[in-house]
Amino acid sequence: MVAVNILETKGLTKIYSGLVANTDVDFTLARGKVTALIGPNGAGKSTLVGMISGRTEATRGQVFFEGQDISALPAHKRIQLGLAYTFQITSIFRGLSVYENVALAGGRTLAAKPEMLDNKVREVLERVGIADRSQQIAGDLSYGHQRILEIAMGLAQDPKVFILDEPTQGLAETEVADFIELIGSLAGQTTILLIEHNMKVVQETADYITVLDQGMVLAEGTPDDIHNNPAVQAAYLGTDIDA
């Protein structure tokens, strides 16, 4: 029987020289669903995601992926297992074409199969809506299209879990609408962890929401659960539950 949760953390804690960023975080990602991680600046979202992805070493606690304890694995080993992570700041290869960027990302798994890699690149670019820009130099793209390219690079890896760190930051309103549509098209195909400040995006895409406050889990549940949660209302009254 396939586990309902594809990823779990237990007691995940990070302390920087006496400064506590996260404390005993128990967190789950439901397989095939979109989970949004929200909370004010300084709530510990980026640190938590860093520990999940392996880019930040935990002070204590464990990370389980498909039932396997991956706490000791470095980031590149977690990527090989199926964890893809986009950054808050675009991490594209600016001097290469759009096609080449996606091919490099997809080549991690399809390098020895050129025809399959080509098909994968074209399929992903079509899916995210930038197939017509495949030969454009990535550094010449608008900021919004660079963010979309970064998502395409993640999708090319066929991730089991796709972590999107503030993907709509800096996007125009129409680009945000396109992003919401894209996430909808991925429903059920992969598990998505979305770290996002735009509550419209969160409300329209997330199946579940986890709220962090002062490095700890304040609340978790469906969008309706979170919207009606008294603790969340008390913590974020007047701030539109800012992510």
| 78 against 90, higher pLDDT | 78
Domains of the chain: 1-82+159-243 (3.40.50.300), 86-152 (no CATH)
Position 109 scores a pLDDT of 59
- Is 50 exceeded by the pLDDT of residue 243? no
Residue 34 phi, psi (nearest 5):
-105, 120
What does 48-110 look like in DSSP terms, one character per residue?
HHHHHHTSS--SEEEEEETTEE-TT--HHHHHHHTEEEE-SS----TTSBHHHHHHHHHHHHH
Give the three-state DSSP class for 219: strand
Q: Could you give the CA distance from residue 52 to residue 40 in angstroms, rounded to a whole number?
A: 19
pLDDT confidence band for 135 (50 / 70 / 90): very high
Position 25 scores a pLDDT of 97
Position 185 scores a pLDDT of 87
What is the edge-to-edge ordering of all strands in the sheet holding 216-221? 83-86, 161-165, 191-195, 34-38, 208-213, 216-221
Position 108 scores a pLDDT of 64
Structure tokens at 59: 């002070």
What is the rounded (10 degree) CA torsion for 18, 20, 192, 112?
A: 10
Instruction: From 238, 116, 114, 160, select the one nearest 2 (Cα to Cα).
Output: 160
> What are the tens digits of pLDDT across the range 16-47?
998 999 999 999 999 999 999 999 888 999 99
Angle between helices 173-185 and 114-128 (to 10 degrees): 130
Model's pTM, two decimal places?
0.88
Cα distances from 7 to residues 47, 71, 191, in angstroms, run 17, 12, 9
